[in-house]
Amino acid sequence: MAAKKWPVALALVAGTLALMAGLITGGYALEGWQLAARWTARIGFPIFLTAYLGSSLVRLAPAPWSRALIRDRRWWGLGFATSHTIHLFALIMAVRLSPEPRTVASLVPGGIAYLFIFAMAATSNQAAMRALGHNWKRLHTTGIHVIWLIFTLAYAKRIPDMETRIIGITMTALALAALSIRVLARRQRPSALAA
Ligand code: HEM
């Protein structure tokens, strides 16, 4: 069955709507762009989790729906890159408008994650897979875990603050559950897969 590219369109539409919702709610100044950054990240997280979990879910629960996830995994990955490019646009605006300048050090972890996001998007094709050989898997496995880590840290960081505690706990729990699913899937014996 041919892969379905609609996750990219979904990410583009949902990311753009999140950006617009932020600006309509908070205005075209700092608050609006901060909300836009927050909500575009919130759209990106479930799209990321879909790409992150595809191969594990097909191992643990082989079924038409999980096979569809792995078949379309490239497009979920590109969908995530799309929505996170919208996050990048919103956060650049928020950082530029912020009266408190960010230290370079505070931009490093997110910046590294963006390098992986764009490198992974640029190599999400057959030609790059062939050209990179084993390094393709190294790049994509390292990248997906770096992105997972930045999401987890970004949400865990919200837990101490009363205002953002609920979203912080919920999303951190989701990120940890997703990691557990990957660990479980890796432990799945090959004989169980054949069954
Ligand atoms: C240097 C790069 C980055 C900067 C400067 C940045 C900046 C921002 C800003 C300004 C916000 C809104 C803060 C608020 O709630 O008021 C935000 C939210 C967020 N960002 Fe980014 N970001 C960066 C990269 C990333 C990356 C790579 C990820 C994930 C892989 C990410 C995940 C998040 C998450 C999870 C939120 C919170 C969303 C929520 O509250 O639900 N960010 N970021």
**Domain spans of the chain, in order of start:** 6-187
Residue 188: per-residue pLDDT: 81
Q: Is the pLDDT at 64 greater than 80, yes or no?
A: yes
Q: Residues 143, 147, 151, CA angle at the centre, nearest 5°?
A: 170
Residue 125: per-residue pLDDT: 96
Distance in angstroms (rounded) separating the CA atoms of residues 33 and 21: 10
Residue 43: per-residue pLDDT: 98
Q: What does the CA dihedral 66, 72, 76, 77 come to, rounded to 10 degrees? A: 110
Q: Which atom of ligand 1 is nearest to the CA of 113?
A: 27
User: pTM for the full model?
Assistant: 0.94
Query: What average pLDDT does this structure show over 12-34?
Result: 98
Q: Distance from the CA of 151 to the center of ligand 1, in angstroms?
A: 8
Residue 110 CB-half CA count within 13 A: 16
Taking the mean position of all CA atoms in its chain, how far away is CA 158? 18
Q: Distance from the CA of 126 to the center of ligand 1, in angstroms?
A: 31
Q: Distance from the CA of 190 to the center of ligand 1, in angstroms?
A: 38
Substitution candidate for ligand 1 out of 33, 35, 38 with most atoms within 8 A of CB: 38
Tell me, using a 6 A CB cutoff, whether residue 46 lines ligand 1: no
Complete DSSP assignment for 51-84: HHHHHHHHHHS-SHHHHHHHHTHHHHHHHHHHHH
Indicate the residue type of 39.
W
Substitution candidate for ligand 1 out of 96, 150, 165, 166 with most atoms within 8 A of CB: 150
Contact call for residues 56 and 181 (beta carbons, < 8 A): yes
* Per-residue pLDDT reduced to its tens digit, 112-160: 999 999 999 999 999 999 999 999 999 999 999 999 999 999 999 999 9
Q: Distance from the CA of 39 to the center of ligand 1, in angstroms?
A: 9
**Which residue do the tokens 């590219």 mark?**
5
Would you place residue 7 in the very low, low, confident or very high pLDDT band (cuts 50, 70, 90)?
very high
Q: Is 6 helix (H, G, I), strand (E, B) or coil?
A: helix
* Per-residue pLDDT reduced to its tens digit, 82-92: 999 999 999 99
Distance in angstroms (rounded) separating the CA atoms of residues 169 and 152: 10
Tell me, using a 6 A CB cutoff, whether residue 37 lines ligand 1: yes
Of the candidates 56, 50, 57, 34, which has an alpha carbon nearest to the alpha carbon of residue 147?
Answer: 50
Q: Which residue, judged by its Cα, is nearest atom 41 of ligand 1? A: 42
Q: Which residue, judged by its Cα, is nearest atom 43 of ligand 1? A: 37
